Amino acid sequence: MTEKQIGVAIIGLSANAKTAWARVAHLPYLLSNPHYRIVALLNSSVESAQAAIKEFQLPSDVAAYGDPKDLAKDPNVHLVVCSVRVDRHAETVIPSLEAGKSCFVEWPLAKDLQEAEKLNQIA
């Protein structure tokens, strides 16, 4: 990663989901833009993240996580792209927000107004 590149983590890039936004929109854009470098994946398990790294032929130094708290500790991650079911948005991005990372969350932001307000307060 160069100094000018933004280290990106993708939450929810599954090797099994053939039509998910992470696969058909976020990944192609992030790979084609020289300002970004994918440095980590977070899935439901480390094994699932490792499978996605292999499936999408990402560099071997991309970190694989199964726990949002572990992802939040990664100093190479500056931007988190969240592409999971809406009921999982808050639990997967809150640790990264609390760690001071920027987060892009697919719409809708949260499952209800209370959860959206909580995310807003943390950010």
Could you tell me which of 111, 82, 107, 83 has the C-alpha nearest to residue 95?
Answer: 82
List for the chain the helix, strand, coil content (%; round to 5).
40, 20, 40
Give me the DSSP letters along 46-58: HHHHHHHHHHTT-
CA angle, 64 as apex, 118 and 56 as ends, to 5°?
110
pLDDT in tens, the chain (123 residues): 667 899 999 999 887 776 587 887 889 999 999 999 999 999 999 999 999 999 999 999 999 999 999 999 999 999 999 998 888 889 999 999 999 999 999 888 888 889 889 888 988
CA trace torsion 18, 23, 25, 26 (10° rounding): 160
Cα end-to-end distance, the chain, whole Å: 26
0.85 surpassed by pTM? yes
Rounded to whole angstroms, how far apart are CA atoms 49 and 55?
Answer: 10
The confidence score (pLDDT) of residue 18 equals: 64
